Structure 1
Amino acid sequence: MSISFGKSLAGSVFAITAATSVSADVPQVATDIAPVHGLVARVMEGLGEPDLVVQQGASPHGYSMRPSEARALEAANAVFWIGPELAPWLEDSIGTLAPDAHVVELLDVEGITTLEYREGATFESHDHGDHDHEGEDHAGHDHSEDAAHEKHDHAEEASHEGEEHAEHDHGGHDHAGHSHDGLDPHAWLDPENGKVWLDVIAEELAELDPENADTYRENAAAGQEEIDVAIGEVEEMLSSTGEISFVVFHDAYQYFETRFDISAAGAISLGDASDPSPARVEEVRNTVTELGVTCVFSEPQFNQNLVQTVTEGTDAQTTVIDPLGFGLDTGPDFYPALMRSLAESIASCASSS
């Protein structure tokens, strides 16, 4: 009996030691927002889990890190984030807390679709075919030199503004002087970009952890297949809604709109979710009335009173959507679930009107 116990104990110690050895080789990874966390979690599935810096329910446009989030950055061997166009306050934090980490700005990745910010409060004349992707259709992909220069100009401008954002509470928005031209950073809402990023994430982690390179690449390929399934489901859901006229809370959804051939009539707030002027709110309200807008979408992080102001006295339905997937479980299944969630909310609002 004692011999059996000894063997069992020895085996357990060996198993724990082996598991510790394997996990020690897996990089520590930090990510900025939940959609990026979901993509990295899919690539790392079975090996480890990334840390999330900007918690769900908060806005990445302005955020104050908790000590635990700062420690996650400090411990990271790799950091995956959208870039300073989305979270200018995070750039200095990464440089200070993770100076030796492999840092990947996903908006800098070749092969993704990028779009410029839309102008004005209403988009009824917006034409998805106007975007220049070096002669490619919108499933394609390389940045032109001009677009790249514009992007880096905007990034440099945003980084200078990071000092203002760094001191903000969760969801705070002091955007005085912020420019709303240049690159729209909400590129994760085009699922084709998500597929490209899965490969980039896998290759970066494979470089840091060659022993698990095959697993990273296999996970990325499986994740791409899952996104393709989600794309088909989204297309089916949205095709059943017919024509839908809608207004969004802030101008964050044009990548999703462009990919799935729908178009918002306008946005109550700008692309960084800063407070809109009274004139902008009035313009959107007039658009809701004049166009007979079906749905006005609010977001959990922001001022619901503005939505009520825009819809008061109209027949427009309201429902909550979130480009960051508030309420969804984080982890390997998050990203396809986010695509489905957006489509379900749009389709549900359209069917109830």
Structure 2
Amino acid sequence: MGAILCALAVGLSAPAAQAAPPQVVADLPVPWSLTAQIMDGVGTPRLLVEPGTDPHDLQLRPSQVRLLTDAELVVWTGAELLPPVAEMLHRLEMEEAALALLEIPGPDAAGEHAEDEPEDAHDADAGDEAHHDDDALHAWLDPRRALAWVDPIAERLAAMDPENAATYRANAAALAQRIGEAETQVEALVAPLRDRPVIVLHDAYAPFAERFKLEIVGAIAEAEGMPSSARRLVELRRLLVDTGARCAFHEPHQSDALLRNVGEGTGIRIGTLDASGGFGEQTPDLYPRLLVELAESIARCDAGAAPDEGAK
């Protein structure tokens, strides 16, 4: 009898087992980075799309479908950028378990044109509107937009997991501060470059350029994942000559041959930019680091320094 009472006493005094953290999946590196920082100390989200994958060519594999099926929360960009994910969420009847970040309005979103600004002011040569509003789809390149996503992610997690709500909210506040610090660093790095026109691979960088008042005079492709027409290349060659752009940028997974062809004989410098964060170190601090690395890459190219191989 004494042994039974002793066992009961031990059982009653043992701490209750902690509930498992929510099963969370994030679609791309930036949403994953934000979510991982908010979940720090509780759990780690899974990444749906492998780093370096072109989201425009995404075809979900069975293992990725299983990730979605097992998730209690899917933090993703939205249907415009990842239609296959939207279709799968619908088929799995999981729309209510998903948080689409592009649907969250951002204060003073850089991707939205000011009332007195012509609608095509940021790219006079954009042509027809088949470019899918690539700038809006890469809204995270404006830190103010990403900042607007932080609290909704934290509150969604807090509602699912009240036991850890205070941790999520404290982590969200710390993340907001880190994003603000990264924005300040970027401001300092690009301040001397605001009168230096540049060429980029596609229009995805408009949110970054508009937020930090950089001058993108043209994009090689009218949208990410779309080929460049001969007419487009002739226009860009003219822009290079007329504007005196010093730098043109491609992405780590793509050849710089097209840029070199367009810029042949102009003295243009070729640099590398990573719009998605898919080609750097995949750690939770990826997002604020991505912002600073974009600015550092632009500054290096403007100074004539060799690209940082480690950033590729």
TM-score, normalization: structure 1? 0.74
Indicate which of 72, 83, 105 corresponds to 1:110: 105
Question: Which residues of 2 match residues 209-224 of structure 1 at below 5 A?
Answer: 209-224=161-176
1:266 equivalent to 2:215? Answer: no
Task: Give the conservation status (yes or no) of the 8 Å contact 2:89–2:95.
Answer: no
Question: Which residues of 2 match residues 180-259 of structure 1 at below 5 A?
Answer: 180=131, 184-241=136-193, 243-259=195-211
Specify the code of the residue in structure 2 equivalent to 1:229. E
Relative to structure 1, is the Cα distance of residues 305 and 222 closer, same or farther in structure 2, using a 3 angstrom cutoff? same
Match of 2:67 in 1: 72
Task: Give the conservation status (yes or no) of the 8 Å contact 1:59–1:301.
Answer: no
1:116: how far off?
5.9
Secondary structure, aligned partner of 1:265? strand
Q: Deviations over 1:139-167 (max 9, x none)?
A: xxxxxxxxxxxxxxxxxxxxxxxxxxxxx
Q: Deviations over 1:11-56 (max 9, x none)?
A: xxx89x83xx33x1x2111111111111111111111111112222
Secondary structure, aligned partner of 1:240? helix
Match of 1:158 in 2: none
Relative to structure 1, is the Cα distance of residues 178 and 72 closer, same or farther in structure 2, using a 3 angstrom cutoff? farther
Secondary structure, aligned partner of 2:151? helix
CA distance in 1, matches of 2:232, 2:64: 36
Relative to structure 1, is the Cα distance of residues 308 and 128 closer, same or farther in structure 2, using a 3 angstrom cutoff? farther
Question: Which residues of 2 match residues 89-104 of structure 1 at below 5 A?
Answer: 89-97=84-92, 99=94, 102-104=97-99
TM-score, normalization: structure 2? 0.83
In structure 2, runs of 5+ residues without a counterpart are: 1-9, 120-127, 306-312
Task: Give the conservation status (yes or no) of the 8 Å contact 2:29–2:47.
Answer: yes
Secondary structure, aligned partner of 1:130? coil
1:273: how far off?
2.7
CA distance in 1, matches of 2:66, 2:180: 35
Task: Give the conservation status (yes or no) of the 8 Å contact 2:111–2:210.
Answer: no
Secondary structure, aligned partner of 1:47? coil
1:69: how far off?
2.1
1:346: how far off?
0.5
Match of 1:179 in 2: 130
Task: Give the conservation status (yes or no) of the 8 Å contact 1:111–1:196.
Answer: yes
CA distance in 2, matches of 1:283, 1:131: 21
1:327: how far off?
3.0
Relative to structure 1, is the Cα distance of residues 55 and 278 closer, same or farther in structure 2, using a 3 angstrom cutoff? same
Q: Deviations over 1:193-245 (max 9, x none)?
A: 11111101000111111111111111000000001111111111111346322
Match of 2:25 in 1: 30
Match of 1:140 in 2: none
Match of 1:318 in 2: 270
Q: Percent identity?
A: 36
RMSD, matched Cα = 2.7
Task: Give the conservation status (yes or no) of the 8 Å contact 1:300–1:320.
Answer: yes
Match of 2:292 in 1: 340
Secondary structure, aligned partner of 2:300? helix
CA distance in 2, matches of 1:332, 1:303: 28
CA distance in 2, matches of 1:207, 1:305: 50
Task: Give the conservation status (yes or no) of the 8 Å contact 1:241–1:351.
Answer: no
Relative to structure 1, is the Cα distance of residues 180 and 292 closer, same or farther in structure 2, using a 3 angstrom cutoff? same
Relative to structure 1, is the Cα distance of residues 131 and 224 closer, same or farther in structure 2, using a 3 angstrom cutoff? farther
Q: Give the stretch that moved more between structures: 226-235 or 280-289.
A: 280-289
Secondary structure, aligned partner of 1:115? coil
Match of 1:55 in 2: 50
